[in-house]
Amino acid sequence: MLETLRSAFAGRLLLDDAEKAPYLTDWRSKWTGRALAVVQPDSAADVAAVVRWCIANDAVVVPQGGNTGMSGAATPDDSGRAVVVSLARMNRIRDLDAINNTMTVEAGCVLQSIQEEAERNDRLFPLSLSAEGSCMIGGNLSTNAGGVGVLRFGNARDLCLGLEVVTAEGEIWNGLRGLRKDNSGYDLRDLFIGAEGTLGIITAATLKLFPLPRARLCAWASVANVDDALAILALAQQKIGARLTAFELMSNNCVDLLLEQFPALRWPTSERSAWYVLLEVSDPDGDIEANAALESVLELAFEKSLLSDATIATNLSQTHEFWALRENMGEAQVKAGKNIKHDISVPISKFPSFIAATNALIESQFSDARMIVFGHLGDGNLHYNVSPKTGATGERFTQIEPAINRIVHDAVDACGGSISAEHGLGVLRRNEALRYKSDVEMKLQRAIKHALDPRGIMNPGKGMGAV
Ligand code: FAD
Ligand code: 2HG
Ligand code: ZN
């Protein structure tokens, strides 16, 4: 039967166990599955042919980009019925229209290569996350990735004007429109964005570009509490508006974890405090202007006693060094071992009371829990993670994981928040989502899945497609 798959399309077919293995496990080795085959098509027509082969042969389709996802959504289940469709070979830049400020790229383009192509054309593609050297734009759009530029530029969804998609029927929908206004019907693009590969396969996208800022500078500031961090955010937004492009938060526990795992890293502020913020300013004019903008915010914050210490990166290389501290958090947690992740969002005004109450609840019930709280405070999205303290075992944390999830997610729900802000539901959160969504919402979600994928062949068992 697999011989017919070989002749159905022109790309690469991987059948050997050793060749398939990297596509059957996620990057954290948390989930592993099985697959009939892994295919790497060369074109949208190839992808469509693979989908039609799957329909004819009772197989299911698991789309995969860079396999950097956090929720297990790109890993096949263990039924062995899946064909993993890796978009890695579809990595051409089809067009860059500098006047329209758009770029059309294939789904397998690595995010960093898109940023670099934009920069070569004196433009900015602002989606930015630590996995940018390996995640692919099809995966970014399918997870509606966030990252560190959302405060100013929005999520992946906000950066996409059009899509080309292979449907669950094996047809190609060409919606590659570079339009900023289009009210001519239901928004199909927005259905496929964030769908975690459960409605179709994105094969290309038209992306928005922005003017390239002349300078990017950042600073670390030490703050006593989250209220003060929010007050600095408000000050910065009022004083420098859209030039504030990132506002990240990190707790002191995170710094300890980071320095334990990467002892060569140097911490930029002289004294340790309970919390830190990383602010970034992008300026159309240059370093002097960016520095002045940052200084004005930090001085005002200092006068108002909102921070105890702050260090501004004096040049681009120091800016990269500062960002490396934040960007290494994901890796540090993997190196440290067990880590229970909660990718949550709440209205930012509620974060101080949410963190105080939820930390207290978890620490009173689980004295061996180490709270690892960091993330995109400016977007109302924190990674409210829980790790074992030294001496506590990963096995015990696997046992208590459901109880900890319940505490965190009930508290998030009580604040009107979301249990998946930017990582998607995947297999990690698909069942818990049922607890927090209304019957009406679930009815509508299921209706969309049924309308676009009536056979249920697209990435079964993942996200909203599973429930
Ligand atoms: P994959 O992991 O391959 O797939 C993710 C999902 O998209 C799966 O459901 C898959 O089936 C589907 N999919 C992939 N390609 C397609 C396609 N062409 N068509 C249809 N469906 C498709 N995420 C954030 O949002 N913000 C962060 O700050 C962030 N930081 C990270 C830091 C690190 C160190 C790492 C490792 C990950 C981070 N992530 C972050 C998570 C991850 O990088 C993003 O979710 C990213 O968007 C996934 O892209 P990918 O190409 O790796 O997708
Ligand atoms: C980040 O912001 C990623 O660094 C990863 O979204 C979050 O490790 C995490 O929990
Ligand atoms: Zn994040």
385-399 pLDDT, tens digit each: 999 998 888 889 999
Give the model's pLDDT for residue 392.
Answer: 84
Query: What secondary structure letter does DSSP report for 128?
Result: B
Instruction: Give the containing element (helix H, strand E) for 369.
Output: strand 369-376
Structure tokens at 403: 């109880």
Give the model's pLDDT for residue 242.
Answer: 94
pLDDT at 27 over 90: yes
| pLDDT band per the 50, 70, 90 thresholds, residue 105 | very high
Give the model's pLDDT for residue 466.
Answer: 84
Residue 147: which of 449, 367, 376, 343 has the closest Cα? 376
SS3 278: strand
SS3 418: strand
Please state, in angstroms and rounded to a whole number, the distance separating the CA atoms of residues 425 and 429: 5
8 Å CB contact between 60 and 414:
no
Q: What is the pLDDT of residues 268-306, one digit of tens each?
A: 888 899 999 999 999 999 889 999 999 999 999 999 999
**CA of 345, nearest ligand number:** 3
% pLDDT > 70, the chain = 100
| pLDDT band per the 50, 70, 90 thresholds, residue 121 | very high
Give the model's pLDDT for residue 293.
Answer: 93
The alpha carbon of 59 and the centre of ligand 3 are apart by a number of angstroms equal to 34
Question: What is the residue with the minimal CA distance to atom 9 of ligand 2?
Answer: 330
First-residue to last-residue Cα distance in the chain: 31
8 Å CB contact between 156 and 205:
no
% pLDDT > 90, the chain = 93
Please state, in angstroms and rounded to a whole number, the distance separating the CA atoms of residues 163 and 140: 13
**CA of 199, nearest ligand number:** 1
The alpha carbon of 347 and the centre of ligand 1 are apart by a number of angstroms equal to 24
Q: What is the pLDDT of residues 83-98, one digit of tens each?
A: 999 999 999 999 999 9
Give the model's pLDDT for residue 440.
Answer: 97
Cα–Cα separations (whole angstroms), residue 63 to 165, 207, 371:
12, 20, 34
Average pLDDT over the chain, rounded to an integer: 96
Crossing angle of helices 252-261 and 329-336, rounded to 10°:
70
Q: Which domains, and CATH codes, for the chain? A: 2-88 (3.30.43.10), 93-211 (3.30.465.10), 215-329 (3.30.70.2190), 337-414 (3.30.70.2740)
8 Å CB contact between 251 and 387:
no
